[in-house]
Amino acid sequence: MKAMKRKILVVDDNVEFVGLVRRLLEHKDFQVFIALDGKTAVEKVRSEEPEIVLLDLKLPDSPGEEILKRVKEINRDIAVIIVTGFGGEQVAVDLMRKGAIDFLSKPIDSDVLYSAVKNAFEMRDAQIEDRQFEQHPTLEKFFPFLAHEIRNPLHAISGALAIIRRRSDLKDEVLGQSINIINEEVHHLNEFVQECLNFVRPPDQVRFVEVGMNEVISVVMNIVSHIYESESKRIKVIQDLDPHLPKIFANYEEIKQAFINIVKNAFEAMPEGGVLSIQTACKAESTPLIEIIFADNGIGIKPENLKSLFNPFFTTKLRGTGLGLAICRRIIVERHHGRIQIESEEKKGTTIRIELPSTRPIGE
């Protein structure tokens, strides 16, 4: 089967020029369409779906800028190369700020034309690929690659830093502080990479055991109060835990991680102190459910942010990775078939309600 030819639309009112460019491009096996005015150009962009448009700035019926705008409205992935006559370079540069990808000055040299077209195809393809990644991020493939690329230089930086530290005059306070900053930043990046990797780590199927949620909560509170030692002095934690809560079949480490993420967020939302209340209960619905509620009276969440909270990398914090709640969602909803719901009011506080199916109560 013959590969589909790549399509280019040439827009220019100079018939001779158009003929020449067409021959040159067809020689390189492109499929070439022609438009001698702006109106035809827009029609052909719609009907022929070119990937690249070579656009003359001076058309009889409409300015090049207008055509550029319309082409981009029809399909923003079309790469537009501006073609100018003598002296039109300044306008061409302006148009590159408005979405054109490159510009060529007449008379056009064939090698320059070929290289501009090749470049434009490459940039366009990369742009489309990036967009697909945004829409369907195959994080599982991307993160390990990213981790590798980031960690190697980080190790090198740490090593070099250790040498600098050994050899430098540690009485120099500014130098010492600078070294500490580099160290902290390297540490932060390392942690970030680790969190990304945790996020895509294949789930551990084996570790589903009977787990008591009250016990997990007390372990979590212990861990978090150590992480946030000074904050925890200003935060009052009220635990209202159902003593008869049945154990459920769950992955202990994962549930612990999910709760840590939630409690950390609550602590981070109460920098001036506040109250975090944690409640557990068993709800008898068609199947019994365990309900766990974390309610803080911290800064709350802006209404427009509510819909984005579970998106990986959504964060409003200077130092957040935005993976905390994405991980929670994965653990609670995907791995444990539960539900997680967030209610929040700005400056009032946030309540996170988790429901986990209690499919195997004790004694079964």
Listed residue (86, 127, 87, 121) closest to 102, CA to CA? 121
- Residue 319 or 347: which CB sits closer to Mg ion? 319
Query: CB of 50 within 8 A of CB of 44?
Result: yes
Nearest distance from C-beta of residue 220 to ligand ATP, angstroms: 14
User: Which of Mg ion, ligand ATP, none does residue 356 bind (CB under 5 to 8 Å by kind)?
Assistant: none
Phi, psi of 346 (to 5 degrees): -60, 135
The span of 62-70, 144-152, 167-175, 321-329 binding ligand ATP (CB under 6 A) equals 321-329
Token output for 357 = 């199916």
- 238 - beta bridge partners? 277
Q: Identify residues 207-266 at the interface with Mg ion (CB under 5 A).
A: 265
Token output for 7 = 């399509």
141 scored as a contact of ligand ATP (CB under 6 A) = no
Question: Judged by CB under 6 A, how many residues of this single chain contact ligand ATP?
Answer: 22
- Residue 43 or 253: which CB sits closer to Mg ion? 253
User: Is the peptide bond between 303 and the residue preceding it cis, with omega within 30 degrees of 0?
Assistant: no
Torsion, Cα of 151, 153, 155, 157 (10° steps): -140
User: Which of ligand ATP, Mg ion, none does residue 301 bind (CB under 5 to 8 Å by kind)?
Assistant: ligand ATP
194 scored as a contact of ligand ATP (CB under 6 A) = no
User: Which of Mg ion, ligand ATP, none does residue 332 bind (CB under 5 to 8 Å by kind)?
Assistant: none
User: Which of Mg ion, ligand ATP, none does residue 298 bind (CB under 5 to 8 Å by kind)?
Assistant: ligand ATP
Q: How many CB atoms lie within 10 A of CB 329?
A: 19
274 scored as a contact of ligand ATP (CB under 6 A) = no
324 scored as a contact of Mg ion (CB under 5 A) = yes
User: Which of ligand ATP, Mg ion, none does residue 317 bind (CB under 5 to 8 Å by kind)?
Assistant: ligand ATP
| Contact map string, positions 244 to 263, toward ligand ATP, x by CB under 6 A | -----------------x--
**Burial class (CB within 10 angstroms; exposed 0-12, middle 13-18, buried 19+) of 213:** buried
351 scored as a contact of ligand ATP (CB under 6 A) = no
Query: CB of 101 within 8 A of CB of 80?
Result: yes
- Residue 117 or 301: which CB sits closer to ligand ATP? 301
187 scored as a contact of ligand ATP (CB under 6 A) = no
* Rounded Cα gap, residues 292 and 357, in angstroms: 11
Token output for 347 = 């400056």
- Return the amino acid letter for 29: D
Token output for 72 = 């981009």
Site residues, Mg ion (CB under 5 A): 265, 324
Site residues, ligand ATP (CB under 6 A): 261, 265-266, 269, 296, 298-301, 309, 314-317, 320-326, 350
